[in-house]
Structure 1
Amino acid sequence: MDPTNQHIDPVSFDAIQPPRPPSPSDLEQAKKEEQALVDGRVGVQTELHAIAKRYLRYGAFLIAALVTVRFWHVAGPHTIFGWTTRWLTEAELQSMDKMLFSSAFGGLVLGYLKEIMQPSKK
């Protein structure tokens, strides 16, 4: 087919317009959309940090309870008014010691703290 013989209807191209420069309202709408995206990300980050803080407080409370129980088993009396105050077996105490004083547990907590406390990347 010869390209010179093709008939192109000029009316069919009337709908195609050159791009127009953005109007001030278009720019304002784009800024609002961008801010909504940024605010959404910041909102999610804020919520994740709040959840992390709650879990860290809960973890700190549990660790304090474990340390208190461990200290009681080391320094507390065997009985008070006939009631036994040492209820954990040696195996249970050793298991607690492994968890409390292992470097893996501390490394996990410190690594997580380092990750959530670093400034957000832009």
Structure 2
Amino acid sequence: MYNALVLSVLLYGCETWPLRAGEVNDLNVFHHKCLRCILGLRLSDRVSNDVIRRRCSDIPLVFDVVKARRLRWFGHTRNPLRTRRRSLEDKKRHGYQQLEPTSSQWEVSRSTGTDGIDNGSS
């Protein structure tokens, strides 16, 4: 529940955040407060963050989640020109027609009429 609800809302859009050390610390403080609440611990119980992390071994650290999301986002956005160029090459290879006429096609259609057929009316 914590990963699905709290972390997803907390880290929404974190792929593009320019995180500084203080902001990472603030995220870790919130993360450990939530884990203490889940485990039913108070600050007066004097349980260290290392012990809490060991008890919640299946819940990743906040910055690890941010790094994983950044890498996944980078994979989606890396070099969009390369993929666009590849799709254009595929279209040429598979015989897709051009959407815009070339200048020579434009001249032929202007001289012969709108439908491109010479009606012999010159």
TM-score (norm 1): 0.31
Which structure has the bigger radius of gyration? 1
